């Protein structure tokens, strides 16, 4: 199995990533680290605890993380993920607390306990990992692999014209992380960025497939109705929660003229963390613009040696999207059958 340390800002697509990993037979979720991003960090941590307990994994520790970026003021995006970060879903609150240790200490301690073994998966701003590396510069060498959802390369941003959310929230953290990896024996992070993750679109038809595979009373096929039929009853509480979460995400994308669908960046990055063989990659020197008045938070990739530096990252460029959805929907359906 692949031991994964998940650092996230849960988040609708973060939720899918967490549930996918919890159900995947090839994954061991070692710990869940919370960071401010989509919603404030206390909301993120409550969601992480809630989902873990809902899925029967109260043994997995949740760490509280950075309350805000290293330098910038925190921005959150409740318009994208809902007031509580999980769309319209009403998740029962967990009756346990987060760890007393911080997420940055968790990065340090977990990689000391299992040097060379752990796969880091960051699907939120990189603040916790940057703080950990400031305290312990040898940390990158102790990770087996690092997969990051973030950035965009020669492709429009989703936060500013040229920047992607996870990097734009904390550009300094992203810069510090990128410059600490890919050197001195530290692995080259695999970067799942918008040109690829925006090809990974969850649609209402996927929800219908999920409901059917879970043996639940199916949600209706999408119609011209304003809720596209997704509000109809389903007998399975997990399918219902996921439908309620995704419906909000569909509406957000629809409101931004992207169609009644949702880009599910984060579970895709989770699949890459378990099996990097599902993507083609291109080596590049990756860094982040910190100063530009128009382009702050933009990731820049040098693939032609302009900067005279060794590639510090692998940018994921291609994948088999239908194969990913087969995997994702199977895991979610298994989870839904297990929990009800």
Interface ranges with Ca ion (CB under 5 A): 9, 11, 14, 123-124, 266
Q: Using CB under 6 A, which residues numbered 262 to 281 contact ligand BDR?
A: 265-266
| HEC readout, the chain | CEEEEEEECCCHHHHHHHHHHHHCCCEEEEEEEECCCCCCHHHHHHHHHHHHHHCCCCCCCEECCCCCCCCCCCCCCHHHHCCCCCCCCCCCCCCCCCCCCCHHHHHHHHHHHCCCCCEEEECCCCHHHHHHHHHCCCHHHHCCEEEEECCCCCCCCCCECCECHHHHHCHHHHHHHHHHCCCCCCCCCEEECHHHHCCCEECHHHHHHHHHHCCCCCCCCCCCCCCCCCCCCCCCHHHHHHHHHHHHHHHHHHHCCCCCCEECHHHHHHHHHHCHHHEEEEEEEEEECCCCCCCCCCEEEECCCCCCCCCCEEEEEEECHHHHHHHHHHHHHHHHHHHC
Binding ligand BDR (rule: CB under 6 A), the pick from 7, 164, 287, 327 is: 164
Binding-site partner at residue 220 among ligand BDR, Ca ion, none, CB < 5 to 8 Å by type:
none
Q: Binding residues for ligand BDR, how many (CB under 6 A)?
A: 13
Q: Does 111 bind ligand BDR (CB under 6 A)?
A: no
> Which is nearer to ligand BDR, 153 or 216 (by Cβ)?
153
Q: Does 130 bind ligand BDR (CB under 6 A)?
A: no
> Which is nearer to Ca ion, 4 or 186 (by Cβ)?
4
**Region of 161-169, 204-212, 244-252, 310-318 interacting with ligand BDR (CB under 6 A):** 161-169
Q: Does 38 bind ligand BDR (CB under 6 A)?
A: yes
Q: Minimal distance in Å, beta carbon 124 to ligand BDR?
A: 6
Positions touching ligand BDR (CB under 6 A) are 11, 13-14, 38, 80, 123, 149, 158, 164-166, 265-266
């Amino acid at each position: 199995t692949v031991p994964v340390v998940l650092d996230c800002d849960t988040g609708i697509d973060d939720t899918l990533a967490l549930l996918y990993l919890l159900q995947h037979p090839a994954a061991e979720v070692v710990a869940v680290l919370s960071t401010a991003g989509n919603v404030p960090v206390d909301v993120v941590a409550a969601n992480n605890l809630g989902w873990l307990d809902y899925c029967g994994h109260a043994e997995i520790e949740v760490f509280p993380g950075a309350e805000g970026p290293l330098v910038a003021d925190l921005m959150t995006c409740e318009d994208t993920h809902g007031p509580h970060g999980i769309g319209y879903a009403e998740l029962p609150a967990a009756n346990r607390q987060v760890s007393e240790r911080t997420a940055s200490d968790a990065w340090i301690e977990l990689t000391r306990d299992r040097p060379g073994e752990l796969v880091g998966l960051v699907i939120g701003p990189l603040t916790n990992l940057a703080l950990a590396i400031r305290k312990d510069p040898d940390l990158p060498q102790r990770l087996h692999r690092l997969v990051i959802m973030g950035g965009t390369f020669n492709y429009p941003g989703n936060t500013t014209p040229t920047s992607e959310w996870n990097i734009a929230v904390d550009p300094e953290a992203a810069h510090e992380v990128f410059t600490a990896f890919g050197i001195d024996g530290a692995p080259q992070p695999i970067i799942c960025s918008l040109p690829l993750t925006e090809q990974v679109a969850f649609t209402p038809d996927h929800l219908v497939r999920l409901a059917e595979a879970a043996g639940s009373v199916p949600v209706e096929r999408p119609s011209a109705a304003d809720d596209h039929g997704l509000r109809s009853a389903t007998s399975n509480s997990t399918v219902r929660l996921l439908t309620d979460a995704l419906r909000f995400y569909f509406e957000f994308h629809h409101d931004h003229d992207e169609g009644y669908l949702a880009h599910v960046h984060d579970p895709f990055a989770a699949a890459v963390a378990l099996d990097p063989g599902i993507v083609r990659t291109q080596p590049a020197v990756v860094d982040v613009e910190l100063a530009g008045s128009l382009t702050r938070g933009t990731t820049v990739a040098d693939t032609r040696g302009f900067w005279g530096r060794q590639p510090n990252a692998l940018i994921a460029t291609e994948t088999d999207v239908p194969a990913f959805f087969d995997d994702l929907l199977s895991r979610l359906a298994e989870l839904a059958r297990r929990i009800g």
